[in-house]
Amino acid sequence: MQKEYLDEFKDYLEKKSGILRKRIPHYLRWVDVFLWNMKGRNASEYEKILQKMVDRLHEQETIQEWQINQAVEAINLYWNIFLPTKTGVQAPPASWDVIIDKVNEMISMKHYSEKTRKSYVLHAQQFIKWLAGRAPVLVTAEDAKRYLAYLAVDRKVSSSTQNQAFNALLFMFKYGLKKEFAGLEDTPRAKRGRRVPVVFSKDEVSRVLREMHGVYKLMTQVIYGSGLRLGECMSLRVKDIDIENSKIIVHSGKGDKDRVTMLPQTLKGELAEQIARVKVLFENDTARGYGRTVIPNALERKYPSAASSFEWQFVFPANDLTVDRVRNRVIRYHVHAASLQREVRQAITAAGITKHAGVHTFRHSFATHLLQSGYSIRVIQDLLGHASLNTTMIYTHVNPVTERVVVSPLDIARDLS
């Protein structure tokens, strides 16, 4: 089906798509596989066939997540952007509700985090509001360019907010509007200033922890002792805690990457007790006809019983059951982020610390204190899950005690004064 256009699609990829040349053979291979799956099918079955193909790829242990994303990207480029220029067949104009639904669908298919989904949808909705009623079919990349300039110049948003908006609009144009998103190179961008992270001293860490109790204290100790992000700590499952080998496995961290970090020896007993409490809670829920938690869609399709198994329960579960409105069932979710953030802020105040600090300060302190103890910056990068060493290097500017303290030459040669 439409295979006669593959050579022209190759030419399109080489000259107009911006795809790296070394990746083009892989894009062509994915499209070829997809077209084979579409053989004898109606064009209206495109999304159904694509989803089936993605599901099958997830079932293959040799296929990695980035390869699946590449396949979706290649097929979308061919089917929704390139092919209509050859056949003249365009989809009927979509409403903004349909566009947002498509964004949600593609985020789910690409297994982005819930945090990313909320961010992309929020930025897309704000862009739609700024357009003041203009129909999707009339929107161009020039509109996105003017909107991003408006954020930077008029709204004076931070660089991180503007970058989030850029990525959200790029995603919406590609998968929702199915339009080119080019010519934005000269868009005014907010400059990202270099900020040294706020860090606790070791004494301040002790003072804050002394003001905390129960599960919130344990969560804070895990964040500081293992270098976790707030979301990573909340999302820990029973199976992720390897007490015997002193390891914590972090799944789908920032950038959807997995990593292994340390489990502090001093927390082994408390974490074992916490997991025992979770087991009692899980057994009680199960006896009442509940006992389910929430797991990623692709995993649930592959392992239908996983959501009802003990090993998939959250290490830090919420006190109350909740209704999963997407799946229409009762589940037990994890502790809400706001609860831990509130407890930490109160403890910081009670400890008499006036720094502008919060939960994430404990992760910064983890990195800084390891660096002060002489550990390699590369080791710390791996433990933190940073993609770039440059991100980790910021901690060398917090308190460089591993280097010799610089002394003024006037202080060295005191007889000159």
User: Which two tokens mark 205?
Assistant: 């860490």
Residue 323 domain-assigned (yes or no): yes
Say whether pTM exceeds 0.85. no
What is the number of structural domains in the chain? 3
- Range name among 106-120, 345-359, 388-402 with the lowest pLDDT average: 388-402
Residue 52 domain-assigned (yes or no): yes
Q: What pLDDT is attached to residue 94?
A: 67
Residue 213 domain-assigned (yes or no): yes
Q: Do residue 230 and residue 288 come from a single domain?
A: yes
Residue 392: give its domain's CATH number: 1.10.443.10
Residue 356: count of CB within 10 angstroms of its CB: 8
AA identity, residue 4: E
Residue 142: give its domain's CATH number: 1.10.150.130
Q: Do residue 36 and residue 107 come from a single domain?
A: no
Residue 187 domain-assigned (yes or no): yes
Q: Count Cα neighbours of 409 within 13 Å in the Cβ-side half-sphere.
A: 0
Residue 416 domain-assigned (yes or no): no
Q: Do residue 264 and residue 351 come from a single domain?
A: yes
Average pLDDT over residues 245-270: 85
Q: Do residue 143 and residue 61 come from a single domain?
A: no
User: Which two tokens mark 32?
Assistant: 């070829």
* Domain limits for position 68: 1-91
Residue 120: count of CB within 10 angstroms of its CB: 25
Cα–Cα distances in Å, from 27 out to 13, 34, 71, 77, 130? Answer: 9, 11, 7, 9, 35
Q: What pLDDT is attached to residue 218?
A: 97
Domain finish residue from 75, 91, 107: 91
The answer to whether residue 397 scores a pLDDT higher than 70 is no
Distance of alpha carbon 95 from alpha carbon 112, whole angstroms: 24
Q: Do residue 263 and residue 388 come from a single domain?
A: yes
pLDDT, tens digit, 9 for 90 and up, residues 54-67: 888 878 878 887 78
Distance of alpha carbon 199 from alpha carbon 394, whole angstroms: 12
Q: What pLDDT is attached to residue 230?
A: 92
318 pLDDT tier (thresholds 50, 70, 90): very high
The answer to whether residue 417 scores a pLDDT higher than 60 is no
Q: Give me the active site residues, please.
A: 229, 254, 360, 363, 386, 395
Residue 79: count of CB within 10 angstroms of its CB: 20
Q: What pLDDT is attached to residue 53?
A: 86
